[in-house]
Amino acid sequence: MTSLRFTALFESIKRKPVEFSLPTAKVSAVFGSHVFNDRAMKEFLTSEAYEAVLDAIINGSKISREKADQIAAGMKAWATSLGATHYTHWFQPLTGATAEKHDSFFEPTGEGRAIEKFNGGQLVQQEPDASSFPSGGIRNTFEARGYTAWDPTSPAFVMGNTLCIPTVFVSYTGEALDYKTPLLKSMNALDKAATAVCQYFDKNVTKVYSTLGWEQEYFLIDTALYNARPDLVMTGRTLLGHAPAKGQQLEDHYFGSIPERVIKFIQELEFECYKLGIPVRTRHNEVAPSQYELAPIFEESNIAVDHNSLLMDLMDKVARRHNFRVLLHEKPFAGINGSGKHNNWSLATNTGKNLLSPGRTPKSNLMFLTFFVNTIKAVYEYADLLRASIASAQNDHRLGANEAPPAIISVFIGEFLTSVLNELEKVEEGKLSPEQKTELKLNVVGRIPEILLDNTDRNRTSPFAFTGNKFEFRAVGASANCAGPMTVLNTIMAQQLSDFKVEVDKLVDSGMKKDDAIFNVLKKYIITSKPILFEGDGYSEEWVEEAARRGLNNIKTTPHALKAYIDPKAIKLFENQDVMNEREVHARYDIMQEMYFKKIQIESRVLGDMAGNHIVPVAIKYQNTLIENVRSLKLILPENEYNLVAKEQLDMIKEISRRVSTIIALKEEMIETRKVCNKIEDAEERAIAYCEKVLPYFQKIRYEVDKLELLIDDQLWPLPKYRELLFSK
């Protein structure tokens, strides 16, 4: 019988690119065609209804039931014109995946006929059967109900034959059960605080929002090979597998030509993205074999987050059509680069200004510096919370693994801005003399060039780097929902900016000029936040030591990193900024700890099964062949010759026995340890136990199995090997 591995290999070798022809070459002809955007709203809504949506988007005003009925009617007419037969509230529960519950637009009337139904009520609110989504104890069984509510700030879209309405997901007692609710609240908090600070410089600014441009990394693996690896199927990563002779050391994949099969996949994916208004732009190979990246033009954060979630769904769907599976796991292959999702973040105003982009005049540069320094201060103050926002079982394998930033949060700003901050630090406290002011304005602030984008001055080892007109948060994992880190970033920035305003106003009230006061507070912040600034090699051992000396934390594992969420400082922050209350923070915390140990638990079971039921039997089978061989040699050869000829086989027989018994013993111990851990009630304690007691077995078991992979007849080995997974195209 041919093994699954060889069947899969034959299948993958025979594959041809799946044809996909673009219906039109013009992106503009399809872009947003399936989005209920401004153009569609103008066409399908009464002007009254249109104004109501616009007002809700811009000013957050409520939409009346009557208007909602009108909007629903227009939305349905638009959706059915695109072939939609169903609608769903589309939301992002804390499981990490997106959720949908489809309802038909049509309802049977009983006489073999159907009537259409989709009114304002169905648009605005729905009650999914939500009892199986994680709630961290917020929903008790007697109130096991949550509801979804329309988010008019993110446009509805048609996917397949379904109208999808972006919604938030909250419990009946009002607590957030999803990613979007706190994100929207953090946008609100940021808007208030940043607009108030903008007023120092520009009275026309009445709204500030954060922008996000994500860069999504992923692996593409042939479906047949993927299906022959239980670990990939069940956990998204390989738990076993010896490194191939060739990995990424030749660096021949990065920016290399993209294989035809992959091109077809990317073309179709991009086409699907355009229909849904996702502005994807760049595509190229990544560092590792079979690794790629897709990035869009940045958008307002809420929409960018929705678009990234949608993209992850789309990738999976489209990849299957091309006989690929997409791996979004942060570390699918040991010893080979993992996948991240850089989050490029900035602040924009209603007047079209990027607040992290230097301007032409000293005045606009002071505005830039204000937001720039406040960002640094915010990261300094809440570094641990930012670290927590990117923590996951998957990302633990990637952070600090010489390919991704370490678990130490620091900020890179480049040589030029470092020198500007050094100058500002020298400003004397108190009122500035006219000479000092001129000096500052002309030679320090005035010197900042309008365009700072300089590709040579880039540090790719920093978790949080300024890249000319935005900060790039590089430690985010590929499978993460960007809303987690974006909520934290927006919230800490909101808090920081309100603190800044209080301090400046106080100085102004005591008689200081506004500019002097701003300089004074910025100078103080620069001095305070100095330890967070780091320009050197973030991958180096020296940085780990240096960071420790500076008092920066280096929290390597998720269960410990997550604790920052329930630190009194963080709870106060979330409550102050009206992003989450204490109950919500705790619920979320428990969910994240639970998610962690469940992931490790599943991996541990899969690993035990693979090592025990896939590898050990094969090892014994091969050992029997060797034994057979040795026996025959003994029969036909004289003693002295036999000893010489059979030596290697005998050594191998012994080695196999040794490794097999080690594997079995480790597996049994791991199961026993799991049993002990499973008795722990508290989510945090159980997560820590899984991290510290169960996880260490993975490496030990893998070591033995990977050694066997090198020893055993290739024909017998049951699992597609790394070289096959990564290099067959």
Measured from the CB atom, the residue of 84 and 305 that comes closer to ligand ADP is 305
Which residue in the shown chain puts its C-beta closest to ligand ADP?
213
Measured from the CB atom, the residue of 261 and 342 that comes closer to Mg ion is 342
Letter string b/e over residues 54-79, b meaning 16 or more CB atoms within 10 A of that residue's CB: eebeeeeeebeeebbbbbbbbbbebb
Judged by CB under 5 A, which stretch of 94-102, 215-223, 226-234, 538-546 contacts Mg ion?
215-223
The CB-of-468 to Mg ion minimum distance in angstroms stands at 12
The CB-of-474 to Mg ion minimum distance in angstroms stands at 7
Judged by CB under 5 A, which stretch of 36-44, 207-215, 380-388, 711-719 contacts Mg ion?
207-215
Q: Which pairing describes strands 157-159 and 299-300: parallel, antiparallel, or unpaired?
A: unpaired
Cβ(137)–Cβ(62) below 8 Å = no
The CB-of-293 to Mg ion minimum distance in angstroms stands at 9
Q: Quick one: which of 235, 285, 344, 389 contacts ligand ADP (CB under 6 A)?
A: 344
Residue 99 dihedral angles phi and psi, to the nearest 5°:
-130, 150
Measured from the CB atom, the residue of 297 and 602 that comes closer to ligand ADP is 297
Measured from the CB atom, the residue of 167 and 346 that comes closer to ligand ADP is 346
The token pair at 262 is: 């992959």
CB neighbour list of residue 544: distance below 8 Å, 6 or more residues apart: 406, 408, 554
The CB-of-215 to Mg ion minimum distance in angstroms stands at 5
Binding-site string for ligand ADP from residue 207 to residue 236, where x marks contact by CB under 6 A and - marks none: ----xxx-x---------------------
The CB-of-247 to Mg ion minimum distance in angstroms stands at 22
Q: Quick one: which of 13, 22, 233, 297 contacts ligand ADP (CB under 6 A)?
A: 297
298 near ligand ADP, rule: CB under 6 A: yes
The CB-of-12 to Mg ion minimum distance in angstroms stands at 31
d(CA 156, CA 303): 11
Binding-site string for Mg ion from residue 35 to residue 74, where x marks contact by CB under 5 A and - marks none: ----------------------------------------
| Strand-pair partners of 157 | 35, 164
470 near Mg ion, rule: CB under 5 A: no
Cβ(281)–Cβ(41) below 8 Å = no
354 near ligand ADP, rule: CB under 6 A: yes
CB neighbour list of residue 203: distance below 8 Å, 6 or more residues apart: none
How many CB atoms neighbour CB 255 within 10 A?
11
The CB-of-342 to Mg ion minimum distance in angstroms stands at 4
Cβ(464)–Cβ(492) below 8 Å = no
Nearest Cα neighbor of 699 from 593, 611, 592 is 611
Q: Quick one: which of 302, 346, 495, 520 contacts ligand ADP (CB under 6 A)?
A: 346
d(CA 165, CA 167): 6
Q: Quick one: which of 139, 180, 329, 342 contacts Mg ion (CB under 5 A)?
A: 342
Measured from the CB atom, the residue of 352 and 551 that comes closer to ligand ADP is 352
Residue 604 dihedral angles phi and psi, to the nearest 5°:
-65, -40
307 near Mg ion, rule: CB under 5 A: no
Count the residues of the shown chain that bind Mg ion, applying the rule CB under 5 A: 2
Judged by CB under 6 A, which stretch of 102-110, 205-213, 399-407, 632-640 contacts ligand ADP?
205-213
Q: What is the 3-state secondary structure (H, E, C) of 679-720?
A: CCCCHHHHHHHHHHHHHHHHHHHHHHHHHHHHHCCCCCCCCC
**Which of the listed partners (Mg ion, ligand ADP, none) does 718 bind, with a CB threshold of 5 to 8 Å by partner kind?**
none
Helix/strand/coil for 465: strand
Measured from the CB atom, the residue of 237 and 470 that comes closer to ligand ADP is 470
**Which of the listed partners (ligand ADP, Mg ion, none) does 690 bind, with a CB threshold of 5 to 8 Å by partner kind?**
none
Measured from the CB atom, the residue of 162 and 211 that comes closer to Mg ion is 211
Cβ(350)–Cβ(475) below 8 Å = no
d(CA 238, CA 332): 6
**Which of the listed partners (Mg ion, ligand ADP, none) does 297 bind, with a CB threshold of 5 to 8 Å by partner kind?**
ligand ADP
**Which of the listed partners (ligand ADP, Mg ion, none) does 213 bind, with a CB threshold of 5 to 8 Å by partner kind?**
ligand ADP
Handedness of CA 485, 491, 494, 500 (dihedral sign): negative
The CB-of-472 to ligand ADP minimum distance in angstroms stands at 6
295 near ligand ADP, rule: CB under 6 A: yes
Measured from the CB atom, the residue of 180 and 342 that comes closer to Mg ion is 342
Which residue in the shown chain puts its C-beta closest to Mg ion?
342
d(CA 706, CA 242): 5
d(CA 674, CA 667): 11
Measured from the CB atom, the residue of 213 and 362 that comes closer to Mg ion is 213
How many CB atoms neighbour CB 635 within 10 A?
7
The CB-of-669 to Mg ion minimum distance in angstroms stands at 42
The CB-of-215 to ligand ADP minimum distance in angstroms stands at 5
d(CA 645, CA 658): 22
Helix/strand/coil for 407: coil
Judged by CB under 5 A, which stretch of 227-235, 256-264, 334-342, 543-551 contacts Mg ion?
334-342
Measured from the CB atom, the residue of 122 and 461 that comes closer to ligand ADP is 461
Tokens 């370490």 correspond to 406
d(CA 206, CA 370): 17
Q: Which pairing describes strands 157-159 and 162-171: parallel, antiparallel, or unpaired?
A: antiparallel
The token pair at 339 is: 């996948």
**Which of the listed partners (Mg ion, ligand ADP, none) does 212 bind, with a CB threshold of 5 to 8 Å by partner kind?**
ligand ADP
Judged by CB under 6 A, which stretch of 75-83, 265-273, 340-348, 425-433 contacts ligand ADP?
340-348
Residue 139 amino acid letter: R
The CB-of-297 to ligand ADP minimum distance in angstroms stands at 5
Indicate the burial class of 511 (C-beta count within 10 angstroms; 0-12, 13-18, 19 or more).
Answer: exposed
The CB-of-469 to ligand ADP minimum distance in angstroms stands at 6
Judged by CB under 5 A, which stretch of 339-347, 537-545, 636-644, 661-669 contacts Mg ion?
339-347
Q: For the chain, what is the largest distance between any 2 Cα atoms, rounded to a whole number of angstroms?
A: 106
Cβ(151)–Cβ(167) below 8 Å = yes
The CB-of-493 to ligand ADP minimum distance in angstroms stands at 13
Binding-site string for ligand ADP from residue 432 to residue 471, where x marks contact by CB under 6 A and - marks none: -------------------------------------xx-
**Which of the listed partners (Mg ion, ligand ADP, none) does 211 bind, with a CB threshold of 5 to 8 Å by partner kind?**
ligand ADP
d(CA 494, CA 193): 5
CA-atom Rg of the chain in angstroms? 29
The token pair at 482 is: 């960007």
Measured from the CB atom, the residue of 207 and 563 that comes closer to ligand ADP is 207
In total, the chain counts a number of residues equal to 729
The token pair at 324 is: 């690929």
**Which of the listed partners (Mg ion, ligand ADP, none) does 354 bind, with a CB threshold of 5 to 8 Å by partner kind?**
ligand ADP
d(CA 55, CA 58): 5
- The DSSP string of 312-377 is HHHHHHHHHHTTEEEE--S-SSTTS---BEEEEEEEEETTS-BTTS--SSHHHHHHHHHHHHHHHH
The token pair at 313 is: 């769904």
153 near ligand ADP, rule: CB under 6 A: no
- The DSSP string of 383-403 is HHHHHHTT--TTGGGTTTSSS
The CB-of-349 to ligand ADP minimum distance in angstroms stands at 12
The CB-of-350 to ligand ADP minimum distance in angstroms stands at 15
Measured from the CB atom, the residue of 181 and 211 that comes closer to ligand ADP is 211
Interacting residue ranges for ligand ADP, rule: CB under 6 A: 211-213, 215, 282, 295, 297-298, 342, 344-346, 354, 469-470
Interacting residue ranges for Mg ion, rule: CB under 5 A: 215, 342
